[in-house]
Structure 1
Amino acid sequence: MTKLSNPGPVVKIHAEANKLYTPIAAINFMKSQAKANFIETAEVHVALNLNPKYVDQQLRSSVILPKGLGKTIKIAVITRGERVSEALSAGAFIAGSDDLVEAIASGHLNFDKLIATPDAMPLIAKLGKILGPRGLMPSPKAGTVTTDLGSSIADFKKGKIEYKVDKTGIIHLPFGKVSFSSEDLLLNLRSILMSIARNRPSGVKGKFWKTIYICSTMGSSIAISFTSFL
């Protein structure tokens, strides 16, 4: 068998420092640099002029990505009575009441999203320390506390994602896979930025947007000029 010569290290071309790329140019550059042996996720990191320790500068909402995330979303539902069967019929991965609460309390977290009906929220109170750090705690603002289980499950399976500003004023989100077309990634990215703009908190002081960077899972960050979005 012929021995292959060592091709040498893979050289990565990094984005130019201090350069702002147009959104489509940034996406194309990101895709060209995704060389991992798995399909990398496209990520966006948005720095905002917010201090979330103030109530009027907190930002939490959700958005439906028109082209989805490129993965199957496992949805768990905590509800009561006959609505458990309704959730399963609507496509939930798992649904239950006290039994599901106890399973989660025991460490069974094999799902990506948790939805609850309002009457089931008292059951979930004791799970705050488990769900909170993982970003799984249901919230009306994020659309995960709802009476319309069918629509909510369908939306999250299609590509609805929650977002919130972290303590440093930054939002971190996936917006698809690098295997998506550039046009599809652009549609998803635009939807995220438009949603953030619509949900601008009332307590913003001066300029709202600071920086927007995109990258693939293993790639370098690329700065975007967002004036074309807003």
Structure 2
Amino acid sequence: MKLTKNRKAVLAKLEPNKVYKLADAAALLKEITFTKFDASVDIDVRLGVDPRKANQMVRGVVTLPHGTGKDVRVLVLCTPDKEAEAQAAGADHVGLDEFVEKIKGGWTDVDVIICTPNVMGKVGALGRILGPRGLMPNPKTGTVTMDVAQAVKEVKAGKIDFKVDKFGIVHTSVGKISFDADKIVDNANEFLKTIIKLKPVAAKGTYVKSIYVSTTMSPGLQIDTKSVE
């Protein structure tokens, strides 16, 4: 396999098995990302939990101080009396029955769906389509609410929800590679602090087992877990 010029440049900057402080890793990611597009900065945290047990489920929401860097497309499903409020807050799509029908037909071209409690009966029927895509509104994440304007603003400003997968890993994006390194660090720290606060009482042993950061096309850099706890 022939190494490209960019790949060689990346490998020259990496030290095998090195564990980085978050600030050093954020700066290095900017040096080893050569994508023509504005790559996402991703973080993967392996936790010492058994997600199959309900009392070890880790799920939460966090508002990244510098936002996600991406334009979040929001659909608000609500009754007509809430439509103007949702539109004024910046929702990309607002309505109910027409969107329920579109989703039944396979349309899911949005990043977040917010709905009011009084339409959950109709939205609940879409669970099979929305659930696997992580789009199902949920009161725990603030996406089932009467205050749709506030929910839209928060999501647009960088509020994300996350949950541990079946392998015990929490994965999310904490910005774009075009961000200043210190903004990437701020966002990552906010996310990590939130995860640490959510440690289940039932989780035994080491809680944060490993942390890696990467961009869409870069190798992963291992972060020193002690530098963030």
Name 1:133's counterpart in structure 2.
Answer: 132
Name 1:3's counterpart in structure 2.
Answer: none
Superposition deviation, residue 107 in structure 1: 2.0
Name 2:98's counterpart in structure 1.
Answer: 99
Superposition deviation, residue 38 in structure 1: 1.4
**What SS does the aligned partner of 2:145 have?**
coil
Give the aligned residue type for 1:93: D
Residue identity over aligned pairs, in percent, reads 36
> Residues 77 and 96 of structure 1 are in contact (CA less than 8 Å); yes or no, is this contact kept in structure 2?
yes
> Residues 42 and 214 of structure 2 are in contact (CA less than 8 Å); yes or no, is this contact kept in structure 1?
yes
Alignment of 1:154-193 (within 5 A): 154-193=153-192
Superposition deviation, residue 177 in structure 1: 0.6
Higher helix share: 2
Alignment of 1:26-41 (within 5 A): 26-41=25-40
Q: Give the alignment's Cα RMSD to 1 decimal.
A: 1.4
Q: 1:99-120 CA deviation, whole Å, 9 max, x = no partner?
A: 2211111122221110111111
Name 1:217's counterpart in structure 2.
Answer: 216
Name 1:85's counterpart in structure 2.
Answer: 84
C-alpha distance in 2 between matches for 1:62 and 1:120: 23
Structure 1 residues without counterparts, runs of 5 or longer: 1-7
**What SS does the aligned partner of 2:38 have?**
coil
**What SS does the aligned partner of 2:146 have?**
coil
Give the aligned residue type for 2:96: S
> Residues 42 and 217 of structure 1 are in contact (CA less than 8 Å); yes or no, is this contact kept in structure 2?
yes
Matched, 1:21 2:20: yes
Matched, 1:9 2:5: yes
C-alpha distance in 1 between matches for 2:27 and 2:114: 35
**What SS does the aligned partner of 1:211 have?**
strand
Structure 2 residues without counterparts, runs of 5 or longer: none
C-alpha distance in 1 between matches for 2:78 and 2:198: 29
Superposition deviation, residue 191 in structure 1: 0.6
Matched, 1:202 2:201: yes
Superposition deviation, residue 26 in structure 1: 0.8
Superposition deviation, residue 18 in structure 1: 2.6
C-alpha distance in 2 between matches for 1:221 and 1:51: 24
> Residues 57 and 201 of structure 1 are in contact (CA less than 8 Å); yes or no, is this contact kept in structure 2?
yes
State the aligned residue count: 223
Superposition deviation, residue 16 in structure 1: 2.7
Alignment of 1:100-119 (within 5 A): 100-119=99-118
